Amino acid sequence: MKLLPEDKLAWSPIVVNSRMNRERNASGINSYEKEFKFKPEEYLASKISDYGKASWLDLCCGQGKALVQTAEYFDKLGQQNSINLKGIDLIDTFLTVDKHITCVQFEAKSLNEWSPDQNYDLITCVHGLHYLGDKLKLIETSIAALKSNGVF
């Protein structure tokens, strides 16, 4: 089997398919809660409770729906200043975020070039890792970007 080089793999029709795995929720149907029995907002709330701040990086975040829902959750609690949410995806199909939500940011870029600019309490990569050629490099970079008690 001939493997595609990274630049060809990243832009292949399967990887850049905007309909596939791009609408994941934080909780409820098609969510972290349903797939993994893990509610990001609960985990992050525990970090805020313990440390006063929390951060989540979602790699291959698709539209960023889970991040937006989580931002809205913490906005309703009046805790936007305590949370930092970031999503990275290969293509820019991110949801539009209400102007008053300031705790979430999105970046369109290849993860082959990703280098973290901070450490995170939570890093996720759901249904995206298998589209990368060098999976171990991304796992290694992600683990290095975690806070000492963070979760990948």
Give per-residue pLDDT as tens, 8-29.
Answer: 655 555 554 544 455 666 666 6
Average pLDDT taken over every residue of the chain: 84
54-62 mean pLDDT: 94
Instruction: Give the confidence band of 34 by pLDDT, cuts at 50, 70, 90.
Output: low
Between 126 and 51, name the one with better pLDDT.
Answer: 51
What pLDDT score was predicted for residue 25?
61
**Cβ-contact 144, 115 below 8 angstroms:** no
Neighbours of 46 (CB within 10 A): 12
pLDDT over threshold 90, residue 101: yes
Distance CA 39, CA 117 (A): 25
What is the percent of the chain with per-residue pLDDT over 90, rounded to a whole number? 55
What pLDDT score was predicted for residue 3?
57
Q: Count of alpha carbons within 13 Å of 56, Cβ hemisphere only?
A: 31
Distance CA 146, CA 144 (A): 6
Tokens representing 103 are 């705790």
**Cβ-contact 73, 142 below 8 angstroms:** no
pLDDT over threshold 60, residue 135: yes
Distance CA 106, CA 86 (A): 6
